[in-house]
Amino acid sequence: MKVTAKELETLIVNKLMKAGLKEEHAQVVADVLVHADARGYHSHGAMRVEYYAERIAKGGINTDPEIQFEKNGPAAAIFEGDNGVGHFMAKKAMEEAIAIAKENGIAVVGVRNISHSGALSYFVEQAADEGLIGISVCQSDPMVVPFGGAEPYYGTNPIAFAAPSSNGEKIIFDMATTVQAWGKILHHRSKNEPIPDSWAVDENGESTTDPFKVKALLPIAGPKGYGLMMMVDILSGVLLGLPHGKHVTSMYEDLTEYRKLGQLHIVINPAFFTSADLFKEKITTSMEELNQVKPKEGYDRVSYPGQRSEERAKKAYEDGIEIVDEIYEYLVSDVVHNNQYDNKDPFAK
């Protein structure tokens, strides 16, 4: 069914506040989730609300965190989230990174001890909206078999990038270092739809098209994806003195425990390297030239990264956002959560 962005945002805020989250924090979470749903990233949209609500209600997210921000050099800083809700912490940390990059040309801000923060595209877009380049990486719990392995070690460990153009549009990409994000498989489960056989493996390490038989995910491009997820784990975990690799806390094992996750924002000010206007003009040229590339059979055009998702978002904000009926029914109900995520095997049905 379709709902307006405003209605969806209000429903999410109300549900999270009922679970115990502050309104200011709930508002940011809702903004990030609506951002994702509007762009078609349903794996990071409203379908996550009940999980967050259960974790908040059970104490696994700090609802009254003591935020600390410490600059350790002209361009380096640590944002301590005290295990508060990740979306709010990541947004605030990006705001600090933007301020540093505007003054010093570059910023590297580690976001330490947070919960799941949702779609990284939201945070890098913050930088692009200010005329800056944004890069963000974050760790996640082990769900991926390393290249040549038969059991999970790393998480889906996503990477996001954004850059501004001279026409107001932005190049944005947000990718898991797996062939597909786990949340995407959850989305297919919610719609009872099969998945491509290249996404994941079953308990025997064999490819599966049944989202309910998934026991581990596959890295993108084999050893290349494996290397990228290792890099993300080092930058957002090891570098920040946090649990890493197979030691990263499970999303579902114990919802009363803090997750202690890490994220790293890198922001670059083009004005310190070239003319800011020239930079944006060249980005615009690249976008236009990519659209002019002859498409192969079966494709209507070549799009630049983020173009189709932004087009979907514009349409969604005008015509309504499509969400699963069951999720809407939960959001409008009086139920905080149905106690279905705690101590759950993440691959269980």
Segment 89-142, tens digit of pLDDT: 999 999 999 999 999 999 999 999 999 999 999 999 999 999 999 999 999 999
- How many Å is the Cα radius of gyration of the chain? 20
Statement: residue 348 has pLDDT above 70: no
Task: Please state, in angstroms and as integers, the Cα–Cα distance from residue 177 to each residue in 100, 133, 163, 241, 339, following that order.
Answer: 28, 20, 20, 22, 30
Contact 342, 251 (CB under 8 A): no
Strand-pairing partners, residue 136, are 160, 265
Contact 68, 82 (CB under 8 A): yes
Percent composition of the chain: helix, strand, coil (DSSP 3-state, to 5) = 40, 15, 40
pLDDT digits (tens, 9 = 90+) for 186-202: 788 888 999 999 999 88
Statement: residue 349 has pLDDT above 60: no
Task: Assess whether 244 carries a catalytic annotation.
Answer: no
Q: What percent of the chain has pLDDT over 90?
A: 87
Closest C-alpha to 111, from 141, 154, 67, 142: 67
pLDDT digits (tens, 9 = 90+) for 281-300: 999 999 999 999 999 999 99
Active-site residue, from 25, 42, 87, 116: 116
Q: What percent of the chain has pLDDT over 70?
A: 99
With 0.75 as the threshold, say if the pTM is over it: yes
Class of the domain covering 2-275+309-332? alpha beta
Statement: residue 313 has pLDDT above 60: yes
pLDDT digits (tens, 9 = 90+) for 27-71: 999 999 999 999 999 989 999 999 999 999 999 999 999 999 999
User: Strand (E) positions, the chain?
Assistant: 2-3, 68-71, 76-84, 106-114, 133-138, 159-164, 170-175, 200-201, 216-217, 261-268, 321-322
User: Residue 10's pLDDT is what?
Assistant: 98
User: Residue 32's pLDDT is what?
Assistant: 98
